[in-house]
Amino acid sequence: MNHTPGKVIKNTFGEYIQTSSIFHWINGENTVSHCLFRIYLWNDQSRVVIVLTEIKSNNGIGIVTSFKEVMEAVFSSFNTEIHIPFNKVEWFIHYGYFSGYDVIPTREILIPDPNNIDVEDALSIPETITIYPKDYDKYLYGIDLGKLRPLLAELDWELIDRWGDAEWE
């Protein structure tokens, strides 16, 4: 499968460039999954931050369960843009009411440890640390994740109603 995203939006914010798209990958059950993908590349190539947002339209296996395959697909697709070692990329998995039909009581971000994945197990789940909105700035270097609905609309992505979260609107 070609992991090249459909529509891509690039914006420059001072010291970094943000690229956003809907990213597809082949998960551990050999089916297709997708998420909202945002990569932040610092101009001096000192830092790469990747935010993967779980969105309701993904009927495949979620990000955490197929994190190993997501990482491999990202590096395959963005190998010319990422100029730091694989283990130095900072990964964030973003969840909230916009992620599924089950109630997720709060927005949260998981920080997965890419060095702690069982490479023999296709569905290996990485160890994670959970952070909440009050701590986003500390971990995200001031990156504002913004409103999801306008970003998905700009990406020409099908919007699913019943989000029920002010962050989404």
Q: What number of other Cβ atoms are within 10 A of residue 141's Cβ?
A: 14
- Indicate whether 30 belongs to any domain: yes
Which of residues 96 and 105 earns the better pLDDT score? 96
- Indicate whether 163 belongs to any domain: no
Task: For 47-64, write each residue's pLDDT tens digit.
Answer: 999 999 988 888 878 888
Task: For 127-148, write each residue's pLDDT tens digit.
Answer: 677 887 788 888 888 898 888 8
- Indicate whether 127 belongs to any domain: yes
Average pLDDT over residues 113-125: 57
Rounded Cα distance, 92 and 115, in Å: 14
Rounded Cα distance, 74 and 127, in Å: 19
List the single range of 8-12, 38-42, 82-86 with lowest mean pLDDT.
Answer: 82-86
Placement of tokens 């590349």 in the chain:
41
**Residue 112 near residue 91, CB atoms below 8 Å:** yes
- Indicate whether 147 belongs to any domain: yes
By residue count, the chain amounts to 169
Fill in the DSSP letter of residue 148. H
pLDDT bin (cut points 50, 70, 90) of residue 2 is very low
| Cβ-based burial of 134 (10 A; exposed 0-12, middle 13-18, buried ≥19) | exposed
For residue 98, pLDDT over 50 is answered with: yes
- Indicate whether 131 belongs to any domain: yes
- Indicate whether 76 belongs to any domain: yes
Query: SS3 for 151?
Result: helix
For residue 18, give its domain range: 9-154
- Indicate whether 84 belongs to any domain: yes
Mean pLDDT taken over the chain = 80
**Residue 76 near residue 68, CB atoms below 8 Å:** no
pTM score: 0.85
Position 165 scores a pLDDT of: 57
Rounded Cα distance, 58 and 48, in Å: 25
Task: For 148-167, write each residue's pLDDT tens digit.
Answer: 888 988 998 876 665 555 55
pLDDT bin (cut points 50, 70, 90) of residue 81 is confident
Position 149 scores a pLDDT of: 83
- Indicate whether 159 belongs to any domain: no
Q: What number of other Cβ atoms are within 10 A of residue 112's Cβ?
A: 22
pLDDT bin (cut points 50, 70, 90) of residue 4 is very low
Domain count, the chain: 1
**Residue 21 near residue 137, CB atoms below 8 Å:** no
DSSP line for 128-147:
EEEE-GGGHHHHHTT-----
Which helix H or strand E contains 73, and what residues bound it? helix 67-77
